[in-house]
């Protein structure tokens, strides 16, 4: 279908339908289907009315439309709480991450800072050697953060990697502007908030987005660092979804959570990503490429 459209487009010197092109476009369409189908499946289950579900033996395609399951999800206090925690974790966590990272990066980019090479090294070393999972857990436990909301946002406050990305940006920042402000008597805080921060929006948006996806998607540490009253939505979804498979595996006649209900919870977790993603894709792609600069 796509290949037939190709030759009709203007300015296409080489856009002839060749067998090679047909194969390439077909393979890519297949890849598209494989990539998109799991999302499509989960969303179509989430809106499939129960009577339509029962009358069919294969549920590969959407049938009917209902918001019953979303209503059920949003009236389940435990799940609503979990989403509130997810949102709070993402907002508060990202805010703290971004402020701490950019401030630290600004300080490390200034020549007036003594020992800045040594401080840079301090952030490099943990990129190469890490203590592993168990010591990390024990450290968080010894800080007394366990079972508090702060255990969800404070660990990993500044990611070395993003710090270096932002520092590189500040080093390339037009120094005359900052020098001029210093001569005019502005302090570093003022320079940072009123001059540097507003003019660095793209880089800040990029790291904010990466931190935010990290918080929103975080699953494992929240599941062991805090008790169930502070569990974010990912943990609750994982619990519902696995307990269903366990029950199903036992083959007992117990009432299973409907596929559609679980699908609706997953959908509520994906929809924000799906909605913002097209608009922010270029920032995310930039984030991926920033990652490759340092390796």
Partner 1 sequence: MGTSVEAVPKDRGTPGYRVQPSTASRRRSGPGSLRDHWPLYLMAMPGIVSILVFGYGPLFGLVIAFLDYSPVRGVRDSEWVGLDNFRTAFDNPFFMSALWNSLIISSLKLTIGFPSAIVLALLLNEVRVRWFKGVIQTATILPFFVSWVVVGTMFRSLFAPDGVINEVRQVFLGIDQLIFLSDPEIFRWIIVFQDTWKAAGYFAVLYLAAMTAIDPVLYEAAEVDGASRWRQTLDITLPGIRTTMVTLFVLLSGYLIFAGWEQIIVMYNPSVYSTADVLETFSLRLALSQGQYGLATAVGLFQSVIGLGLVLITNWLARRYSEQGGLF
Tell me which DSSP letter residue 172 carries: T
Burial class from Cβ neighbours inside 10 Å (0-12, 13-18, 19+) for residue 130 reads: exposed
Comparison of 132 and 198: residue with beta carbon closer to partner 1: 132
Residue 269: CB minimum distance to partner 1, A = 5
CB 67 within 8 A of CB 50: no
Nearer to partner 1, 67 or 285 (CB): 285
Min dist. Cβ of residue 67 to partner 1 (A): 19
Rounded least distance, CB 158 to partner 1, Å: 4
Report yes or no: 261 and 241 within 8 Å, Cβ to Cβ: no
- Nearest distance, CB of residue 289 and partner 1, angstroms: 6
Nearer to partner 1, 203 or 237 (CB): 237
Question: Minimum Å distance from CB 52 to partner 1?
Answer: 14
For CA atoms 285, 208, 290, 126, the dihedral sign is: negative
Q: Which is nearer to partner 1, 77 or 114 (CB)?
A: 114
Q: What are the angstrom distances between the C-alpha of 193 and each of 91, 162, 174, 178, 202?
A: 20, 19, 16, 12, 15
Closest separation between CB of residue 184 and partner 1, Å?
Answer: 15
Give me the least distance between CB of 233 and partner 1, in Å please.
9
Spatial contact of 262 and 42, defined as CB atoms under 8 Å apart:
no
- Smallest separation (angstroms) from partner 1 to the CB of 65: 18
3-state secondary structure 211-249: HHHHHHHCCHHHHHHCCHHHCCHHHHHHHHHHHHHHHHH
The region that residue 231 occupies, defined by phi over 0 for left and psi between -120 and 50 for alpha, beta otherwise, is beta
Hey, how many other C-beta atoms are within 10 angstroms of the C-beta on 116? 15
Look up residue 155 and give its DSSP letter: T
d(Cα 275, Cα 280) in Å, to the nearest integer?
10
Residue 50 or 220: which CB sits closer to partner 1?
220
Q: Which is nearer to partner 1, 77 or 118 (CB)?
A: 118
CB-nearer residue toward partner 1: 40 or 68? 40
**CB nearer partner 1, residue 67 or residue 139:** 139
């Amino acid at each position: 279908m796509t290949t037939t459209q190709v030759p009709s487009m203007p300015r296409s010197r080489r856009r002839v339908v060749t067998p090679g092109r047909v194969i390439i476009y077909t393979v890519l369409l297949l890849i598209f289907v494989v990539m998109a189908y799991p999302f499509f499946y989960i969303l179509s289950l989430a809106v499939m009315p129960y009577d339509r579900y029962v009358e069919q033996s294969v549920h590969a395609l959407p049938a009917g439309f209902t918001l019953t399951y979303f209503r059920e999800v949003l009236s389940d206090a435990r799940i609503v709480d979990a989403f509130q925690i997810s949102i709070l974790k993402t907002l508060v966590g990202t805010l703290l991450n971004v402020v701490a990272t950019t401030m630290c990066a600004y300080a490390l980019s200034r020549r007036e800072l003594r020992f800045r090479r040594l401080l840079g090294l301090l952030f490099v070393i943990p990129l190469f050697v890490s203590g592993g999972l168990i010591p990390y857990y024990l450290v968080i436990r010894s800080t007394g953060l366990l079972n508090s909301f702060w255990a969800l946002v404070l660990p990993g406050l500044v990611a070395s990697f993003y710090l270096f990305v932002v520092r590189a940006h500040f080093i390339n920042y037009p120094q005359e502007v900052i020098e001029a402000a210093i001569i005019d008597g502005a302090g570093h805080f003022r320079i940072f908030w009123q001059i540097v921060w507003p003019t660095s929006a793209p880089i800040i948006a990029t790291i904010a987005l990466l931190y935010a996806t990290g918080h929103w998607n975080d699953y494992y540490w929240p599941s062991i660092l805090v008790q169930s009253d502070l569990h974010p939505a990912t943990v609750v979804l994982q619990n519902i979804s696995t307990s269903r498979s366990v029950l199903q595996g036992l083959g007992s006649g117990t009432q299973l959570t409907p596929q559609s209900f679980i699908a609706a919870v997953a959908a509520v977790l994906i929809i924000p990503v799906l909605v913002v993603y097209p608009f922010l894709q270029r920032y995310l792609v930039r984030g991926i490429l920033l990652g490759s600069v340092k390796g």
